Amino acid sequence: MVMEAVRAQQVTVLFVEHDMDIVNRYTHRVLAFYEGRIIADGEPASFSTMPRCAST
């Protein structure tokens, strides 16, 4: 309910998450961090082949 309300209000959201199922379900974009840098930036679907070191 919260996420749907936020989405309806056109709020921009950045959130940290470790569960890729949730990331895939709720995001338009995924930013993968590694040692202080963004090493991958794209749509969730493009992350199926991402380097394992970027995930938790």
Partner 1 sequence: MLRIEGLDVSIQSVSILRGVSMALPTGKFAGLIGRNGAGKTTLMRSVMGILPARRGTIRFDELPLDRMPAHQRARGGIGYMPEDRRLVPQLTVEENVLIPAWAAGVAEPQSRLAQVYKMIPEVEAFAGRKALQLSGGQQKLVALARALMCGTRLLLLDEPFEVWRRCWPTGSRK
- Interface residue list for partner 1 (CB under 8 A): 1-7, 9-20, 22-23, 25-38, 41, 44, 53-56
Residue 11 vs 49, nearer CB to partner 1: 11
In the complex with partner 1, the residue whose CB is nearer, 49 or 53, is 53
Q: Which of 28, 30, 36 is nearest to 49 (CA)?
A: 30
**CB of 47 vs partner 1, minimal distance in Å:** 8
d(CA 30, CA 44): 6
Side chain identity, residue 27: T
